[in-house]
Structure 1
Amino acid sequence: MTLAVDTVLVPVDGSEAAADAAEYAVAIAERYDADLHVLYVLGETVARGMEAGDIDRTDVADESQLFVEDVAAMAEDPTRVESSMAYGFSTVRKTRHPGSVVLDTAEELSVDFIVIPRESLAGEHGDALEKAAEYVLLYASQPVLSV
């Protein structure tokens, strides 16, 4: 039985662990001739900082775009790499957290495979996916590689 993969999802947060996961995701997408979707997940620290005006939204957008461009540059065909950005938490919805954001995105995009970093190694910009891997591994309906 062969695994059919049309779209691979890799959630990232700008951390070194996310960059490593992105490398694996690119390799899997190329192995299966699949598209790659990079989901940049903003952590609570960044989101609250933007809301308070302490962190410039343009700087966050630029930083995330550069990270996604670095991922696309790893791919043989960068045109098959798409991206989106999401808040990894909500102050009004208790059920919104990085793990649920990853799984909701996976369902919305009908992805066939998820590659997620095991834990974030970065400071304030890398706190989004810190505990998401375990949640995704427990509840995903797609195959998951946690690196």
Structure 2
Amino acid sequence: MSLEVDTVLVPVDGTEASVTAVEYAVAIAERYGADVHALYVLGETVTRSIDAGNVAEDEVVDDTNTFLAEIEALAPEGVSVDSSIAYGFSTSRKLQHPGSVILDCADDVDADFLAIPREGLRGDAGDVLEKAAEYVLLYASQPVLSV
């Protein structure tokens, strides 16, 4: 039984740990002739700040797009990297959390493999991606590499 991989999903948050996860995702994609989808997961503090009007959503989008452009540059020729941004938390949806957002995105992009960082947002409350990694490892139907 061989593993077929067309799309590798890698959740990121702007940290060095997420850059490391992208490096692994790109290596996996290169090995299997796959594409990479980077999902930038916004943490609770940023989400609440946007909802409260303390931070302009356009500024957050610009910052995340800058980071996403930097990680796209990590991919060698032949590995396509696309991206999206998602709120990891919601002030109106009780069941929205980073793990569920990642798994929903995996379904949306038809990911065959996930590479997820174990470390969270820059000291943000709750280590978002660390907790998401635990959730994803428990509930993903795809193979998962936690780095």
The interval holding the TM-score normalised by the smaller chain is: over 0.9
Contact 1:13 1:125 (C-alpha < 8 Å) held by counterparts: no
Corresponding residue for residue 90 of structure 1: 90
What is the count of residue pairs matched by the alignment? 147
Q: Secondary structure at the match of 2:136?
A: helix
- Residues 1:76 and 1:126: Cα distance change in structure 2 (over 3 Å): farther
Distance 2:10 2:126 in 1: 15
Contact 2:43 2:121 (C-alpha < 8 Å) held by counterparts: no
What TM-score does the superposition give when structure 1 sets the normalisation length? 0.92
Q: Secondary structure at the match of 2:129?
A: coil
| 1:36 aligns to 2:33 (yes or no) | no
**Runs of 4+ more than 6 Å apart:** none
Equivalent pairs: percent with the same residue?
A: 63
What TM-score does the superposition give when structure 2 sets the normalisation length? 0.92
Corresponding residue for residue 20 of structure 1: 20
Q: Report which structure shows greater RCO (CA 8 Å, sep ≥6).
A: 1
CA RMSD, aligned part only? 1.9
Q: Which runs of 5+ in 2 are unaligned?
A: none
Distance 1:126 1:81 in 2: 28
Q: Which runs of 5+ in 1 are unaligned?
A: none
- Residues 1:139 and 1:129: Cα distance change in structure 2 (over 3 Å): same
Corresponding residue for residue 131 of structure 1: 131
Contact 1:15 1:122 (C-alpha < 8 Å) held by counterparts: yes
Q: 1:53-72 CA distances to partner (integer Å, 9 max, x unpaired)?
A: 22222221111111111111
